[in-house]
Every structure is written in C-alpha cells, then in structure tokens.
Amino acid sequence: MYILVNLFVLFLFHSRTAAQNCSVLACSSSSSSIPIRFPFRLEGSQQPVSCGYPGFTLSCDDHGRTILRLPHSGEFFVRDINFLTQQILLHDPADCLPTRLLQLNLSDSPFLATYYENYTFLDCPMKLKSSAIGCLSNSTHTVLASSDESFVQAMATVCSVMVSRPIPISWPVQYNQDLSDYLNRDLQLSWSTPDCMDCEMKGGMCNFASKGSQNIGCFNIPATDRTSKGLLIFRIVCLTIALPAIMSSFGIGVFICCKDRRQGRNRANNPLQSIDLAAVIPQPSIVTVGLDESTIESFTKIVLGESLRLSGPNDNICPICLADYKPKEILRCIPECAHCFHAECIDEWLKISSMCPVCRNSPSPVPPNDT
C-alpha cells in the first residue's frame, strides 16, 4: 500500500513550533487535500499518538483520499474539515449515503450530528423519477424517503413503509422537506471536545497543554496587532452570523433547485402526477437575495504579486476560506469597502448574499452601461 504523505508547509508557514513535534500532513499533494492536524492525526504516520485526540484518527487510501472510521458505522470518505467551526463533512465510499444514515450509530465517537429528523422510507412498486433514492431504486421499485407526514400518508396508499426513524442530517429540515435527494448529500458532523475554537480564531495551534495531559493548550498565537484583532472580530462575526446565513441560503438553494427539478420531472409520464408535491412542502420563509453575475463581474479582480501586498483594509488571508493568499491567486475586491477575497470564494458568496462578508455593507450595483 502506497500511502502518499506530504508535509503541508501551508500551516507551518512562519516560525510556528508546537509543544510537540506534530507536523501537518495530508493524504495527497494536491492543494485541495485536507490538512491533517490536531485534533486529527494520521494513522501509521510520523505523527505520534500524542499528536491527535482520541477518536480523531484518520487514514489514507491508495487514491489519496482521507478516511474516517467510526466505531460502529464503518468507513467514510472525508470531504472537508472545518477546524474553526469544528465540523467534518463525510460521504459514503459506495455513494449511497441514505443506507449509511439508516445505520449510523455515533456512540463511542467524538462526533455529533447537527440535526435529527424523523424520516420514513417508502418502497414503491413502480418506477418514479421524483424524490427517488437512486442507489436503492431499480427499474421496478422506487425507494423514497420523506420527513413530511402528509406526504408519507399520501404515498402509503401505493407504497409500503420500509422503516421510520430519526436520521442525522446536516441542515435544518424546514428547507428540505421530503427531499430524498437531500439524504444523498454529504453528512456533516461536528465535535465539541476538544474545544479549539478560541485557539483557531486567534490563529494559534491547538494541542495538548503538555505531554500526558488531557487539557488543551493554545500555542504560537500571533501577536494581536490591529489587523489581526480585526480579523478575529471578523471571524466571530462569520461564525455567529454569516455561517448560519450561508447554511440557510444553501438550504433554500437546494430546496428551490430540487423543487424546480422535480416539478419539471413530474410533467413526464408519472403515475403519481396527481399528487402535487409542491403543495405538501411548506415554503421557506427567509429569502436571501444575492447579486447577479454581471454585477459580480463588474467588481475589480486583481492577480496577487509575489509580494502578496494588498491595498486597503486587508490581511493576507482570505476571510471566507481562511486560507493564506499565495502569489498569482486571483482576488476580487468589493468597490465600496475595498475588502478583498479569493475570487472563487466571494463570487459564490455574492450569488447568495449582497453583503460584504466582512463589514456587511451592501455594494451598490454598478448601473449597467448607463447612457
């Protein structure tokens, strides 16, 4: 087995040295690879056992994918780890997350599900295109899952109930009522112990306070000058306001998109055409409006030079993804407040919110070629 282990210099950039010799590792050399650092630790690597918190052991497969093994639920691929919000995004190696969710048992693991929702799985003796869990359906049977009782009752006249139980889900369900598609998305889990949020926010390195200790310490906190205080405040704002906002906008986005798709499909030959799915789904009450593509494109783009020097009130870290800027990366700055971000980060943001993620001012749309 060839385990591709690469030293991640990104996070060790300056003269940061932890209490212990815990280098940051990754399963592949690709820049999108997930950094493995405290509380996580890579099994069988040069990271000693004391570099990770119990229950946070990861491994790599032959293709450079990061694997998390949960004590009673088997292996999952790791899509992402957010050290700041203490969340991990998992997906099923066999691409059938709903079956994994049915069996998920998080006891003896440090991870918690964000939400639970009672889902009913229905087996329908026919081919349906809408709401189907593709990996459980075949040409003669369709498996559906719904958390909406009236939908389940309507369907139960034709379908049989397979199982009904609380399922761990990643986003609040009011935006995702009855969407089986939703269960096919990644599973988001969080952890509360060890609590490294404060340390991560200060830009420090979290680890055991001393050898053999179970207490957590924070090492190499950068000096808090004005700019990093600003960054700290921003990160708090991000945590308390922006993340829930993105999450709900994302939820609404998924909801609206899937609903449209499903309505489209329902026009096709569908024996259950008469059931108006939209009618049983409550409409989301929050509407977030982003900017259109041309407005976003009208904001200044810059290519970072070797000096990484940025004008205006900017640090050399992208406030959205929290990654350090690197030479030649493309940034986009918001005209009014001059806050800059990775173009790919801010573009996605502005599609769902018209506010600057740092100062929450709304950039006024540039009038389109006024004559």
Q: Given the rule CB under 6 A, which residues bind ligand NAG?
A: 21, 46, 72, 105, 107, 116-118, 123, 138-141, 166
Asked if residues 129 and 265 have their Cβ atoms less than 8 Å apart, the reply is yes
Three-class DSSP category at 68: strand
The number of C-alpha atoms within 13 Å of 57 and in the hemisphere containing its C-beta is 12
Q: Which residue has the tokens 């026919």?
A: 126
Whole-number CA gyration radius for the chain? 23
Residue with smaller CB distance to ligand NAG, 46 or 294: 46
CB of 298 to ligand NAG, least distance (A): 45
- H helix runs in the chain, sequence order: 97-103, 149-156, 180-183, 197-201, 226-237, 243-266, 277-280, 293-298, 343-352
Residue with smaller CB distance to ligand NAG, 117 or 200: 117
Asked if residues 301 and 193 have their Cβ atoms less than 8 Å apart, the reply is no
CB of 140 to ligand NAG, least distance (A): 5
CB of 236 to ligand NAG, least distance (A): 30
CB of 107 to ligand NAG, least distance (A): 4
243-266 vs 343-352: helix crossing angle, rounded to 10: 70
Q: Which residues, in sequence order, are bridge partners of residue 58?
A: 42, 68
Three-class DSSP category at 121: strand
Q: Select from 103, 39, 114, 95 the least CA-distant residue to 72.
A: 103
Asked if residue 39 has a cis previous peptide bond (ω within 30° of 0), the answer is yes
DSSP code, position 132: B
In angstroms, the CA 228 to CA 203 distance is 9
CB of 174 to ligand NAG, least distance (A): 12
Residue with smaller CB distance to ligand NAG, 129 or 141: 141
Q: What region, left, alpha or beta, does residue 232 occupy, with left being phi > 0 and alpha being psi -120 to 50 degrees?
A: alpha
CB of 131 to ligand NAG, least distance (A): 16
CB of 138 to ligand NAG, least distance (A): 4
Instruction: Name residue 323's amino acid.
Output: A
CB of 359 to ligand NAG, least distance (A): 37
Residue with smaller CB distance to ligand NAG, 65 or 127: 127
Residue with smaller CB distance to ligand NAG, 117 or 347: 117
CB of 10 to ligand NAG, least distance (A): 17
Distances (CA, A) of 327 to 198, 302, 307: 29, 11, 7
- H helix runs in 20-115, sequence order: 97-103
Residue with smaller CB distance to ligand NAG, 118 or 150: 118
Residue with smaller CB distance to ligand NAG, 87 or 120: 120
Residue with smaller CB distance to ligand NAG, 105 or 294: 105
Residue with smaller CB distance to ligand NAG, 32 or 139: 139
Q: How many residues does the chain have?
A: 371
